[in-house]
Amino acid sequence: MRQSRAVTLTHSLAVLIVLFGQAGHFRASAQTNEPKVEKKLPTSESTGSVAPATEGCRPVHDGDGAADGESGAKVRVRLIQPAFVSYLDQNEAGQGETIDLRSDQEIQDELGLVRHRHTPFVTFGSPIRVRAGDAGVDRLVIQDGDAIGSLTLANAVRLTVDARLTNASSGTPDGRSTRVFGTLPVGAKFTEQTQSGYGGEAQLSTNLLGLMLGMTPRGFFVEHFVGGIRLGLEQGPVMLLAVREPMKDSLVSYAGARDPGTGLVWGGVVSDSVSLQLSHNASGDGQYLSARYADLHGQNVANNWGVDGTGGAYWRVVKSGQGGLSVGLNVTGMHYEKNQNFFTLGQGGYFSPQLYALASAPVSWYDRTDRVEYEISAGVGVQHIVEDAAPYYPTIRGLLSQPTYQGQTRTGPNYNLSFRVDYRLAPQVSLIAFATANNARDYAARTIGISLRILTQRLPTGTGLRVRSVPDWRGRQPFSFF
Domains of the chain: 55-116 (no CATH), 121-455 (2.40.160)
Q: H-type helices in 235-368, by residue range?
A: 251-255
d(CA 289, CA 111): 37
d(CA 149, CA 147): 7
pTM here is 0.76
Classified as helix, coil or strand, 113 is helix
Instruction: Tell me which DSSP letter residue 255 carries.
Output: H
Residues 14-51 have pLDDT tens digits of 444 444 444 444 444 444 444 444 434 344 444 444 33
DSSP 3-state percent helix, strand, coil across the chain (nearest 5)? 10, 50, 40
d(CA 448, CA 23): 65
Q: What is the CA radius of gyration of the chain?
A: 31
Amino acid at 321: G
Residues 362-413 have pLDDT tens digits of 999 999 887 899 999 999 999 999 999 999 999 987 776 788 999 999 999 9
d(CA 304, CA 388): 14
d(CA 70, CA 214): 61
d(CA 29, CA 44): 38
d(CA 269, CA 174): 26
Most confident listed range (34-48, 57-71, 425-439)? 425-439
CA distances to 85, 156, 157, 189 from 99, in Å:
8, 34, 38, 78
d(CA 379, CA 216): 32
Give the per-residue pLDDT at 234. Answer: 81
